[in-house]
Copies of this chain bind each other. A is one copy, B any other.
Amino acid sequence: MPKSQKKAIVLLSGGLDSTTTLAIAKSEGHSIFALTFDYGQRHEFEIKAARKIAAQQGVVRHVVAKIDLREFGGSALTSEIEVPKNRNIDKMSHEIPVTYVPARNTIFLSFALAWAEVEDANDIFIGVNALDFSGYPDCRPEYIEAYQRMADLATKAGVEGRQRITIHTPLIVLSKAQIIKKGLELGVDYSFTSTCYQPSPSGEACGRCDACQLRLRGFSENNFTDPIRYITEL
């Protein structure tokens, strides 16, 4: 039961982590304003997934903000760099993956901050995770702390001494298995979530990129069958 109806902006990619984050924000009594970015990524399937999840979770409003990061070039998720497959996911945690998108979370959080200020929401939720992808600079706790300090100074609330806008990262130190466990406890239907870096045109996951491997292991460790479809029988 919601304790109150505090507004929260939730960054929703349509993936497993952000969907779990949305469910956590909701379970804490927030009314949800979901924010998804259409940033020229190759997998538009994610945006469709985000729309289904937002509808299913009964969000107050879902904005899909179109921004074109392709103009700047430089990432596997927005241009034609090859997505690595069948890598050993236990050995990749200290390098920056080629799938890194420059300043992505900084841009996403900045839009969330703008929306929070307009809606008079005091809370922003983002599903960053420092364990699985510690190679991403903008998934680390020290980055989030620095963003919070900047946000405190960037906004009207900061100047006027009102309650600040707090950035919540409920998944930041959880393993993929712990995230899935939490989501299953909250009744998340993972069949809509999209994780794969390079799904087929009809939305089937590849099963071999880093993201797919981490996801599959997370479900396996929960003794739960991943409900999404994969290209090949795994």
Contacts and interface: CB of A to CB of B under 8 A. Distances in A.
Contact of A102 (B118, B142, B143): B118
Contacts of A80: none
Per assembly, the copies of the chain total 2
Contacts of A147: 150, 154
A138 B106 CA distance: 16
A170 interface: no
Interface string A64-76: 0111110111100
Contact of A149 (B68, B71, B110, B149): B149
Interface string A139-163: 0101100110111111110111000
A114 interface: yes
A111 interface: yes
A100 interface: yes
Contacts of A159: 96, 137
Instruction: Name the interface size band of chain A.
Output: 35 or more
Contact of A155 (B107, B115, B137, B156): B137
A117 B136 CA distance: 14
Contacts of A140: 153
A92 interface: no
14 contacts: A63-B72, A72-B111, A72-B115, A100-B156, A103-B110, A103-B111, A103-B113, A103-B114, A104-B114, A137-B154, A146-B150, A147-B150, A149-B150, A150-B150
